[in-house]
A and B are shown apart, each in its own frame.
Chain A
Amino acid sequence: MQPVRRSGGRAARTANPERGLAQRLPFAIFAAVSFGMLIVSKVYPTLNERVQGVLIDVAAPVVDVLGEPVTVIRGVGGAVADTLNGAEKVEKLRAENERLKRWRNVAMRLDGENAQLRALMRVSEETGIPVISTRVVSDPGGPFVRAILLDAGVGKGISKFQPVMDHSGVVGRIVTVGRQSSRALLLTDLNSRIPVFIRRTGDRAILVGDNGDRPKLAYLPMQSSARVGDEVFTSGDGGIFPPKLPVGVVDFVDGPTVRVKLAADLSRLDFVNVMAYVPLEKPEQSPVAQPLDPLPQGPSVAMETGAARLPVGPVAPADPVLPSPPLIPGPRAPAPADPAAASAGQAPPPGGAPAQPAAQAEPVEESPDETPPPSRGGT
């Protein structure tokens, strides 16, 4: 019986080959077109990006409208939770308020000192970087990409590579811009690379996303003494990001693997600020910042873009952006916090930012310690 059935099936399939072909041809065409698009978007990423830039203006409003009921439900849920935990929250906020008041005093004191030092050193005021506040329209929505859609595009002054922040720290950067919408790549995305430094040690590294919730620090110096709790800030290397933006804190160290817990709360991205920062140089192919590129010569370019760095010299102020009670030594450069680092010639760079030979106003004595340390490995 079985051979007969097999023979019959073959006969049925071959009885009307034209019909079978007619059924399969559209499938083959659509599959080939889809696969072709996949190949083209890989080979011509710029084309893919341009097409996405045009289509993003169609996608964002649809997601935005669909998201309205969800936003309302989340708001109601949040209000109920707030009501239930009211007393506890008030106490928490009161404690936080006290803490912030202390920080405000420190900040005001440092601001005054900073202004005096700037006057002494004849450095112009840093240009304030304007920000564009915008609503977050979408979540990443899948395992591939960690990116969000924003409700602002070229029309509101958004352009590619601009840093995106929430109230606590860096969230990511703009990668696609439409007329009314844009897409920001989160720091957690596997294509995200931003130059950073560790505040305590001054060590530079590249913050590398890997689609997890805690990005890694790659290219740390071999002798880096990074430890849990160290604060991480943008270094401004490469000119894509302005320096000294808060990124997060080191929360995992295991040999060469150092991970950072982001300061930004990616679970509550309702509104973000896009910094209208003009990058010093734009990467040609990928929006990924080139690791440890030197800044262009001369401080004037940096100042024009709002990324002015304090000249590094024998006298430098404490970091004006990152006030900290133990680091208020007055006008002199602070002593290294870590004695081991000091003995190894790794004093934290004055001003919080690592020394940039290209941006120096005055020559500084070269020391053997300024040669780049061997890489600790990218992964």
Chain B
Amino acid sequence: MAAALHRAVIAMRTGVPFVLGVLLAALSFVPYGSPEFSVIMPSLTLPLVYYWTLYRPNAMPLAAAFTIGLWQDILVGGPLGLMALLLVVTRGVIESQRQVLLTQPFAVGWLGFALISAVLTLLAWVLAGLWWDHAFSVWPFIAHWGLGTAAYVPLAMGFRQIDKLMYEQA
């Protein structure tokens, strides 16, 4: 009984961030009634992968980051692999830097997110430009990055609550 409960807790700990990623990815595509906003809609999965890789890397394995990215690619309807690549890179880079970032206060972690999301947005802009053979306007991407950076704070607070529920009370 205790073993089964333990297994269920482990499954929940790895499953919840993944399910959360699937839902957050889909939430970006819900019709909000504003075409302008839908264009600059931030990627909500990037903060998710960043947070869980930083604080609970076991709960966000590479396969989960890859699958969430692929799911986002399906929702976009563009090239398969673009968001998957970005989230896998996020997972890889943050895992390699987490020992440094973990010892820092939240504001530095936020700055770290702002930096990596800026690099990834630039990478997305370049890859999308190559894929579509089109020089995209940079402004929607800058707005997309800015909103994503701003969204990190409330999202991270929400993830922290879920984290507490799963690890401190389970």
Contact = CB atoms under 8 A, between A and B. Distances in A.
A and B: bona fide binding partners: yes
Given A26-B62, A62-B22, A38 B127 contact: yes
Interface stretch (A142-150, A246-254, A315-323): A142-150
B79 A38 contact: yes
A142 B76 contact: yes
Given A62-B26, A66-B26, A143 B39 contact: yes
Nearest to B137: A211
Interface in B10-45: 22-23, 26-36, 38-41, 43
Contacts, number: 157
A38 B73 CA distance: 10
A56 interface: yes
A41 B40 CA distance: 24
Interface residues of B, number: 51
Contacts of A140: 29, 35, 38-39, 41
B136 interface: yes
Interface residues of chain A: helix, strand, loop or mixed (majority): helix
Contacts of B62: 26-27, 30
B28 A142 contact: yes
Interface residues of A, number: 57
B40 A38 contact: no
B41 A35 contact: no
A34 B31 contact: no
A212 B71 CA distance: 26
Interface of A: 23, 26-27, 30-31, 33-42, 48, 51-52, 55-56, 58-59, 62-63, 66-67, 70-71, 74, 136-149, 175-176, 183, 188, 190-191, 211-213, 266-270
23 contacts: A27-B91, A30-B62, A30-B84, A34-B82, A37-B81, A38-B131, A40-B80, A40-B81, A42-B131, A51-B80, A52-B77, A58-B74, A70-B31, A70-B32, A74-B32, A138-B30, A140-B39, A140-B41, A141-B30, A142-B28, A143-B144, A144-B136, A188-B35
